[in-house]
Amino acid sequence: MKHLISLKDWSAEEILDVLKLAAEVKAEPQNYAGALTQKTLLMMFEKPSLRTRLSFEIGMTQLGGHAIYYDMSTSPMSGGKETIEDSIKVISRMCNVVMARLFNHADILKMAEHAAIPVINALTDNSHPCQVLADLQTIQEKKGTLKGLKLAYLGDGFNNVTHSLMNGCTRLGINISVGSPEEQMPAVEVTETAMRFAQESGCELVITDDPVEAIKDADVVYTDSWMSYHIPKDEEAARIKLFTPYQVNAELMKHAKPDAIFMNCLPALRGCEQTAEVIDGPQSVVFDEAENRLHAQKAVLLKLCGAA
């Protein structure tokens, strides 16, 4: 049995395999219409969501199965009345696969340790692997290749999406530059692992506080919210000040390749991590990226349930 907790746990072959399936699922959805008949996905949410909830719930419907939305604030777990271990053992007796969007990464690791069914990380404070599978699918569609490209990430480096991009890109030989302020650099252990993957796959990982160096000659420019779901509101003003030099605007985009695409996992705020001219401009692929969550998540479900 396999889980999707972090892309660092998946080999390049496994990632490419699921991307190939995602492309097939997108091209010929009817071929998979009954692949998960009678199967149930439990979707546990401690934080809000639009894309992740829709893609998994609609994905299960389209594959012939069923998805249950479970608001964690209504669970015995959140009241401290039941342990994660007991809960996941019960879930394993009734469901076929479970996904969870949680605050603490340690909690999803604990779930995976005690689960008898596949566990999918639907975002924690540490990582967001499902998002990055859809991102890689989008890059492959738009650029026709992955290996050898340069992806530049601008903004909050100590961030779940950033960490998963670092794992996914370096696994597949995509050069990646993270441009972040000193105070918000990626987690050290993520950088160390990604450095090792970069050596293995023959690409470069650059972490810099210089936004121009990060974006220079990039094929893909990526940014994410400065106010992730878990960040307290009272940090907003300080974070806006800290990240403003990393805002993706038309001026900064001039340093990327002229045919660079712009990505944001969404939700996005115009005037913060990017300007409206960029996210609503011709280089932006953010809605193709959002749509690919559906196809990529269907591929993940099919693989983990052993149906493809």
From ligand NVA, ligand CP, none, which one binds at residue 224 (CB under 5 to 8 Å depending on kind)? ligand NVA
CB of 63 to ligand CP, least distance (A): 19
Separation CA 178–CA 205 (nearest Å): 8
User: How far, in Å, CA of 132 to CA of 112, rounded?
Assistant: 20
Query: What contacts 48, CB < 8 A, 6 or more positions away?
Result: 229
Q: Which of 191, 201, 228, 283 binds ligand NVA (CB under 6 A)?
A: 228
53 labelled catalytic: no
Whether 101 is a known active-site residue: answer yes
- Work out the burial of residue 17: count CB atoms within 10 Å of its CB; fewer than 13 is exposed, 13-18 middle, 19 or more buried: middle
| Cα-Cα end-to-end distance for the chain | 14
Residue 265 a catalytic site member = yes
Please choose, out of 110-118, 157-165, 190-198, 201-209, the segment that lies near ligand NVA by the rule CB under 6 A: 157-165
Q: Taking the mean position of all CA atoms in its chain, how far away is CA 148? A: 21
Q: Is 62 a catalytic residue?
A: no
For the question of residue 288 being annotated catalytic, the response is no
d(CA 161, CA 282): 23
- Judged by CB, which is closer to ligand CP: 191, or 228? 228
Question: How far is Cα 103 from Cα 101, in angstroms, rounded to an integer?
Answer: 7
- Applying CB under 6 A, which part among 74-82, 84-92, 136-144, 265-273 lies near ligand CP? 265-273
- Give the C-alpha separation, 300 to 307, whole Å: 10
The b-or-e profile of 29-54 (16+ CB within 10 A means b, else e) is eeebeebbeebbbbbbbbbebebbbe
For position 201 contacting ligand NVA by CB under 6 A, the verdict is: no
Strand order across the 97-101 sheet: 66-71, 40-45, 97-101, 119-121
Q: Site for ligand CP (CB under 6 A): how many residues? A: 9
Stretch that binds ligand NVA, among 24-32, 66-74, 156-164, 184-192 (CB under 6 A): 156-164
How does 55-67 read in b/e, with b if 16+ C-beta sit within 10 Å? Answer: bbbebbebbebbb
Q: Select from 62, 92, 131, 184 the one that contacts ligand CP (CB under 6 A).
A: 131
Interface pick for ligand NVA out of 159, 264, 284, 292 (rule CB under 6 A): 159
Q: Is 71 tagged catalytic? A: no
Minimum CB separation from ligand CP for residue 107, in Å? 18
Question: 204 to 233, contacts with ligand CP by CB under 6 A?
Answer: none
- Structure tokens belonging to residue 290: 């959002």
Shortest Cβ distance from residue 204 to ligand CP (Å)?
A: 26
Site membership for ligand CP, residue 269 (CB under 6 A): no
Annotated catalytic residue within 95, 130, 203, 265: 265
Amino acid at 286: V
Residue 132: CB minimum distance to ligand CP, A: 10
Q: Site residues for ligand CP, window 31-60 (CB under 6 A)? A: 49-52
Q: Which of 225, 274, 275, 297 binds ligand NVA (CB under 6 A)?
A: 225
Helix or strand run (H / E) with residue 15: helix 12-27
> One of 128, 163, 171, 295 is an active-site residue; which one?
128
CB atoms within 10 A of CB 20: 13
Of positions 72, 240, 266, 307, contacts ligand CP by CB under 6 A? 266
The residues binding ligand CP (CB under 6 A) are 49-52, 123, 131, 265-267
The residues binding ligand NVA (CB under 6 A) are 123, 159-161, 224-225, 228-229, 265
Active-site residue set = 101, 128, 131, 224, 265, 293
